[in-house]
Structure 1
Amino acid sequence: MKAIIDGLIVLPNEIINGHVIMYEKDIWRIVPRKQFRAGMCSEFIDANGGFVVPGFINEHIHGCAGADTMDDDDQALKTMQQALPATGVTSFVPTTMTMEQGRIEKALSRIRQARDDYQGGAQVLGAHMEGPFISPAYKGSQAEENIQTADFSWLEPYADVIKIITLAPETLKNKKFLKDCQDHGIIVSIGHTAADFDQAMDCMDALGSCHVTHLYNAMTPFHHRRPGVVGAALLHKGACCELICDDLHVHPAAQKLAYQMKGRDGLILVTDSLRACLQGDGESSLGGQKVFVKNGEARLADGTLAASIAPMNEVVLHFLINSGASIPDVVSMATVNPAKALGVYDRIGSLEEGKQADITILDSNDFHVKQTVIAGELAYNEEA
């Protein structure tokens, strides 16, 4: 048996002190410190007053540490898996780009293999397809020449691994694509879209529940006479919105507005990071296009803002500062909410007895990651 002691344990609705988490592969018990005896466990982690939170779940990430989901290299996902625990992430959904169909299919096959053949590090939960079924008008850093009209037929062989697909709803020929996705358990996420308010609401109503890919970014904005996708996302109760909280993609005030409109249950914090995350300034790439990273910003050669380089622990801290939300609420947006959406909350996403021991320990001052445990094994230790 192993134990984490002297930490502020963050549960979905409260923070508890003076308790010990006892675990092996799964969490066995969370007990008051006075009921714990040293002889009950063979290994200890002293949290030294830090926050003990569930391992973060990143549902939108292209790359980090020099590796990218679209790399035609079996080692790329392994590199990401080994690097992510240092950011507090214990599981993730590798995200593809709008590239040639064959490249996307190969990426999906590699993601399936990484999911099924787990060899340590952050666990792969499935794939997020960001395109190619998007709008040229709001393509962002996606390659326009590879944009396609939505067609479920070529996705069907990969339906077991695709967890989320980003879609511009105004490009649909009919709503059968939406039903096909629902029938196969694939989350439709509205994004990279030129849809107007009515088109967005119509799609959201048809789905009942959906995601919105990086709210505010690459979509029709809110205007008092044209509410756009942003207006629909903030109003629709069934829309759960991703937010990139690097304080560059979304202004702090817009983050606070999203929290006040959507509440804790309506937001999911993501990084949308590219391979340059954890790499520092310099030239990088995303979706076959050159990206230039300088002073914390990643941009294409034409100046277009590309993906983020912020790690998840910083995203969580930024939102905590900007939103005024409680720590349990903010942590839930990076743990509980994605776990529920992805259908894995029965085993990960919160610190509960019987769930997998995916645990991150954060410094209580600046949220840097001190230790990360995945399935009961120490995956990152800042002192190592």
Structure 2
Amino acid sequence: MKCIVNGKIILENKILEDKVLVFDEKIVDISNNVPEGCEIIDAKGQFVSPGFIDIHIHGNMGKDTMDAAEESVTTIAKSVARYGVTSFLPTTMTMDKESIYNSLDVVERLMGSGEGRAEILGAHLEGPFIHQKYKGAQNEEFIANPSYEFIKKYKDVIKVITYAPENDENYEFTKEVVRNTDIALSIGHSKSTYKQAMDAINLGARNITHMFNGMTPLNHRNPGVVGAALTSNAYCEIIADTIHITTDLFQFILDNKGEDKIILITDSIEAGGLEDGEYSLGGQKVIVKDSQARLESGSLAGSVMPLNKMVYNFLNNTDLDVRKVVKLASLNPAKSIGVDKTKGSIEIGKDADIAIFDENINCCMTINKGNVIFKK
């Protein structure tokens, strides 16, 4: 048994001080006293938060999910733990079927917890079911129409699918996925009209992939995917690196979506955690300069910022306090992929997935299922 003392414990509805958080693999108690024989962790006045969950991340520290190598995905899992991430979804790209399947096979083998690394909850399939016009940094050579047969074998590995519903004939793919799986369908890299996007949402699509980026924009006569995102109950991924979306819109998004429907993600590529230079994404050359990752065409190619900094940016550019902004990177993503019964908040009986960080969201310790996976 372990316990954390001298921390500001962030619960869903309040912050507790002068309490003891007691846990083993699960959270056991929030007590006034240290139980006898308990291993003590001193938070030294810092925040004790639910661990962050990144549901959209391609790579980090020179490794990418599409490497289809256990060593690569393990490196990503160890790297993200430094930033308070206790679990995540390794994310694929639009490439040939064999490469995607090989990557999903690796994710399947590594699903669960591991020593010194964040827990792998499954995969996010970003592509190949996207639209050419809004492909972003994806390779158009391998774009395909949505196909349930394509994903059927991996329906228990894939947790999120980014897709363009306008390419889904009669929404048959949407219906089959909703009917036969627990996968969260996420509209992105899409040329959908407002009506097409709303039709998909009404049929069960429940997320929007990196809102504003890679989709039809908000227009007063053609509201597009952005309009559907703002006027529906869909969860909206946000890349809060201040590059993909200007900080001037953070509060606007919050005012329209509310704190329960925003999910902070990184969309990090292999350059995450490394210096400016030349990297790769889905077999394409990426140039990182001044912390911006772009293809040679100039298109943004994911981000290089860790999730704790996304949280910091949103905290400092909205009226949310730390308790509420933490939810955007913990409970909201947990709910969006259906793991909130065990993850996403500090509650008795839930997994002991915990991050300890300072007022600038700099992480000093990360704990997954009671095991310390990062210590500064």
TM range (shorter): over 0.9
Which residue in 2 is equivalent to 1:328? 323
Does the Cα contact within 8 Å between 1:212 and 1:240 map onto a contact in 2? yes
Q: Distance in 1 between matches of 2:161 and 2:341?
A: 23
Q: Distance in 2 between matches of 1:354 and 1:231?
A: 39
User: What TM-score results when the alignment is normalised by the length of structure 1?
Assistant: 0.95
Q: What SS does the corresponding residue of 2:316 show, helix, strand or coil?
A: helix
Q: Distance in 1 between matches of 2:127 and 2:150?
A: 13
Which residue in 1 is equivalent to 2:17? 17
Which residue in 2 is equivalent to 1:149? 145
Q: What SS does the corresponding residue of 1:264 show, helix, strand or coil?
A: coil
Deviates more, 1:186-195 or 1:108-117: 108-117
Percentage of matched positions with identical amino acids: 43
Which residue in 2 is equivalent to 1:199? 196
Q: Distance in 2 between matches of 1:295 and 1:363?
A: 26
Alpha-carbon displacement from aligned partner over 1:161-202 (angstroms, at most 9, x marks no partner):
011101111111121211111121111100001111121112
Q: Counterpart amino acid of 2:105?
A: S
Which residue in 2 is equivalent to 1:27? 27
Does the Cα contact within 8 Å between 2:168 and 2:174 map onto a contact in 1? no
1:378 aligns with 2:372: yes
Which residue in 2 is equivalent to 1:246? 241
Q: Distance in 1 between matches of 2:353 and 2:114?
A: 15
Q: Distance in 1 between matches of 2:240 and 2:106?
A: 29
1:95 aligns with 2:91: yes
Q: What SS does the corresponding residue of 1:164 show, helix, strand or coil?
A: strand
Q: Distance in 1 between matches of 2:73 and 2:326?
A: 25
Gaps of 5+ in 1: none
Which residue in 2 is equivalent to 1:163? 159
Does the Cα contact within 8 Å between 2:2 and 2:39 map onto a contact in 1? yes
Alpha-carbon displacement from aligned partner over 1:268-317 (angstroms, at most 9, x marks no partner):
11000001111121111111111111111111112111101010100011
Displacement of 1:42: 3.8
Q: Distance in 1 between matches of 2:306 and 2:317?
A: 17
Alpha-carbon displacement from aligned partner over 1:131-159 (angstroms, at most 9, x marks no partner):
00000000000001110011111210111
Aligned residue among 76, 82, 99 for 1:86: 82
1:269 aligns with 2:264: yes
1:51 aligns with 2:47: yes
Aligned residue among 338, 363, 367 for 1:369: 363
Aligned residue among 356, 359, 374 for 2:354: 359
Displacement of 1:120: 4.5
Does the Cα contact within 8 Å between 1:135 and 1:192 map onto a contact in 2? yes
Q: What SS does the corresponding residue of 2:248 show, helix, strand or coil?
A: helix
1:289 aligns with 2:276: no
Q: Distance in 2 between matches of 1:139 and 1:107?
A: 20
Gaps of 5+ in 2: none
Q: Distance in 2 between matches of 1:99 and 1:67?
A: 16
Q: Counterpart amino acid of 1:165?
A: I
Displacement of 1:40: 2.1
Q: What SS does the corresponding residue of 1:103 show, helix, strand or coil?
A: helix
Alpha-carbon displacement from aligned partner over 1:89-128 (angstroms, at most 9, x marks no partner):
0000110000001100111111100105845510100110
Q: Counterpart amino acid of 1:230?
A: V
Q: Distance in 1 between matches of 2:150 and 2:289?
A: 38
Where do 1:332-351 residues align within 5 Å? 332-351=327-346
Aligned residue among 173, 177, 187 for 2:169: 173
Q: What SS does the corresponding residue of 2:153 show, helix, strand or coil?
A: helix
Q: Counterpart amino acid of 2:365?
A: Q
Flag the 1:225–1:231 CA change in 2: closer, same or farther, 3 A.
Answer: same
Q: Distance in 1 between matches of 2:228 and 2:112?
A: 37
Q: Counterpart amino acid of 2:323?
A: P
RMSD value, Cα: 1.3
Does the Cα contact within 8 Å between 1:3 and 1:41 map onto a contact in 2? no
Q: What SS does the corresponding residue of 2:91 show, helix, strand or coil?
A: strand
Which residue in 1 is equivalent to 2:185? 188
Q: Distance in 2 between matches of 1:376 and 1:155?
A: 33
